[in-house]
Structure 1
């Protein structure tokens, strides 16, 4: 699943693929607003930690895989 995190006062965003479900990511984001930071893991095992006060938005992509080929 694709995840994008917008950072306040920054033109760039953090974008990565995660093996977590949409519900797990949503729960982590909502819990981060009451805590000091948001911590998420990507599909390669890296951990991203973002101060919750700096989060502008979080975009959670779909869990479905992309189809390759032609559609009839």
Structure 2
């Protein structure tokens, strides 16, 4: 699952590949937003943790759970 995190006043997105489902990511985000002075935290597939204060979040884009095929499609 790919997650794109936009941080206020930062021109580049943070892109995280995680093993969490879309529902799990959304629940983590909801919990973070509900907490006073909360932080949004997610761990990537390599075990690295990304932590962003919710006050700095611009957006969080959650990708689909389905895997995309690799290679060239189509017929000749």
TM-score relative to the length of structure 2: 0.87
Cα deviation, residue 12, structure 1: 1.2
In the alignment, which of 60, 66, 73 is matched to residue 70 of structure 1? 73
- Give structure 1 regions of 4+ aligned residues with deviation exceeding 4 angstroms: none
Partner of 1:23: 23
CA-to-aligned-CA distance 1:25-70 (integer Å, 9 cap, x gap): 0000111112220111111111111001000100000111111242
Partner of 1:49: 51
User: Looking at CA atoms only, which structure, 1 or 2, has the larger radius of gyration?
Assistant: 2
Secondary structure at the aligned position of 1:33 is classed as helix
Q: How many residues were matched structurally?
A: 72
Counterpart CA distance in 2 for 1:12 and 1:67 is 27
TM-score relative to the length of structure 1: 0.91
> RMSD over aligned Cα, in angstroms?
1.1
Secondary structure at the aligned position of 1:63 is classed as coil
Secondary structure at the aligned position of 2:34 is classed as coil
